[in-house]
Amino acid sequence: MRMCPSMWLQLATGLALLGAVSLQTLQSFPKLCDIRNFDDFLRQTGKVYSDEERVYRESIFAAKMSLITLTNKNADTGIASFSLSVNPLADMTRKEIGTLLGSKVSESGEKYTDGHINFVTGPRSPTAANLPEKFDWREKGGVTPPGFQGVGCGACWSFATTGALEGHIFRRTGVLPSLSQQNLVDCADDYGNMGCDGGFQEYGFEYIRDHGVTLASKYPYTQSEMQCRQNETAGRPPRESIVKIRDYATITPGDEEKMKEVIATLGPLACSMNADTISFEQYGGGIYEDDACNQDEVNHSVTVVGYGSENGRDYWIIKNSYSQNWGEGGFMRLIRNAGGFCGIASECSYPIL
């Protein structure tokens, strides 16, 4: 039996009793391997339950394992284009996992974006025929490693915002910074964001245009909203650790060809999608194409860092914020040119430097 390295077992769990029910907080996202039953799962995650709650959690785990087994069998026979894997979310409820889904528009935020004049690509914009068939900013060195937003903190919007900006800075300068999501979580509330309770990438860009964002090394991520410390962490004038943008642009909803153009010529996109499916949370690899994600509104923010094709199937390369131990090293390949699958083409934007 293949053993998992001990470093993968760094899962901090809290146990708070409400009657007979314990609540857990995932502070890290360990990689699991060779999970055959619930005992294996508990051993590798470090989760601890009372006898009563264990029965409840094991029933959730069993249902998800059945879906994982069926999907992977279909993947092996070519019926499904993607596979699933067991990860630390496998015994959690839809409500608990829903705290990860923080793409939310707000009335106060829309007051800012309503007056925004969209950037229009100039006449020298490349035609579709001149764009490369595949493009991946990871191969260029323009993508930082996926982080983990933390269950209970719907800060995906801040990861999408910083992820797109990091890539555009790299394209312009050749230097890849790691920008602070915590800066946005703590400080961008006046722009319509709600910290760990959700936000929107366009509101994040609005804040960065006016105030800038600092480096992650100066303002590290904590998985919770705290008092704004941007001035303390920015350093002394001229505050070289602060990054600002000139403006930001949005993609016309549904225009996947324009998405492709921006990614291939300018940099990654911050986009919304629907991630409220079990197959998304337990995604293991392959080209994701579960029609269940087309049945609800978008609710999660991601960074689109590239595109490609495999066996005649086009896909987007999605950077998620569930750590490097989710999906394909923290990334997902999502079916492309399929009507904006999972809503991926409905809300996309990018910074203008």
Active site residues: 156, 300, 320
Tell me the backbone φ, ψ of residue 350, rounded to 5 degrees. Answer: -155, 155
Q: Could you tell me which of 285, 271, 253 has the C-alpha nearest to residue 163? A: 271
Q: Could you tell me which of 136, 104, 130 has the C-alpha nearest to residue 304? A: 136
Q: Rounded distance, CA 197 to CA 158, Å? A: 12
Q: Could you tell me which of 235, 197, 199 has the C-alpha nearest to residue 217? A: 235
Q: Rounded distance, CA 149 to CA 324, Å? A: 12
Q: Rounded distance, CA 42 to CA 224, Å? A: 25
Where would I find the beta strands (DSSP E) of the chain?
A: 16-18, 21-23, 82-84, 135-136, 247-250, 269-273, 283-288, 300-310, 313-319, 331-335, 348-352
Cβ-based neighbours of 141, under 8 Å, separated by 6 or more? 170, 176
Torsional class of 156: left (φ above 0), alpha (ψ -120 to 50), beta (otherwise): alpha
Q: Rounded distance, CA 306 to CA 147, Å? A: 18
The residue type of 276 is D
